[in-house]
Every structure is written in structure tokens, then in C-alpha cells.
Amino acid sequence: MFYRLLGGAAAVLVLTGAAQAQPRAHQSSEDRHFLTEAIRGDNSEMMLGQMATERAVSPRVRDFGRTLHDDHAHARDAAMRIAARFGVPDTQAITPEARAEAAKLRRLRGRAFDREFVRYMQHDHRKDIAEFRHEARMGGPVGQLAGQTLPDLQKHLRMAQDLDRG
């Protein structure tokens, strides 16, 4: 009887260990995916922010574009440091959504450009905040990076909302 219990306990430990090992491998894959997407997102925000500094009519929107560019350049550098540890290659790629938005913005002038830029930034930062909050709860170095990036993303959303109201 004792050996059966011991054998059962060992089986539970083996199964528990296997179950714990699986999420770690899966987590690493998720971490790499998140890092790749975060870097692409930073590239996108830098590109769109630069576009706003050059094309926006409102000085406040131009300043917002500069802030986006600078903050996301800093975030990209931090993400690349972690990405190197996870074997994630550097990329200059942008997201498909940002590519479509850039094409849309190139066709707009004046206040129409400013309105669309601010509208897109609100939508994009809401989505990013949700993704980064989720990742921050996962822990580890990638979760920590996500948690450290959240305040800037929230600041960007507030700035875009203020621009929309004003």
C-alpha cells in the first residue's frame, strides 16, 4: 500500500513537473512573439510620430508626434535588450495596421491629418495598453518590460484624448 501511494505521489510529481515545463516552453514562445510585436509597434509609432512632426498643422499634434517618436525609440531600445536574450532578431518592420494608417495619412492635409492621426493613436494605444497589461501579469523579464512600458502608453493615450477634446 505504501509503495502504491509513493508511486502515485511520484506520478503526480512527474506529471506536475511536465505540466510546469510545458508552460515555460510555451511562455518562451509567447515572450518571443510579444517582443517581436512590441518592436514592430515601436517602429510603427516612431514612423507615424515622425510623420506627425512633419505634416501636422497643430503645434500640439506635432509635439505629440515628437513625444511618440522619442518615447517609442527608448522603448524599442529596452525591448531590443530583452529580445537579444530571447534570440529575437532585430527588425525595422512595422505593423500592417500602421502601414495602412500611414497610407491613409499621406492622402490627408491640414486639420484632417491631425484629426485622423489623433483618432488612430487613441485606438492604437487602447489596444496596446490591454496587450501590455496582459503581458505584465505574466511576469518574467518580458512581463517586467511590459509593466515598465505601460506608463508611457497610458501617457500617450491621455495626450491623444486631450488633443481630441481640445
Please state, for a pLDDT cut of 70, what percent of the chain lies above it.
84
- pLDDT for position 27: 59
| Per-residue cell: 1 | 500500500
* DSSP string across 20-62: HHHHHHHHHHHHHHHHHHHHHHHHHHHHHHHHHHHH-SSHHHH
Query: Do 43 and 76 touch, CB atoms closer than 8 A?
Result: yes
pLDDT of 28-77, one tens digit each? Answer: 889 999 999 999 999 999 999 999 999 999 999 999 999 999 999 999 99
Give the least confident one: 12-21, 55-64, 99-108, 137-146. 12-21
Domains and CATH numbers, the chain: 28-165 (1.20.1260.10)
pLDDT of 90-113, one tens digit each? Answer: 999 999 999 999 999 999 999 999
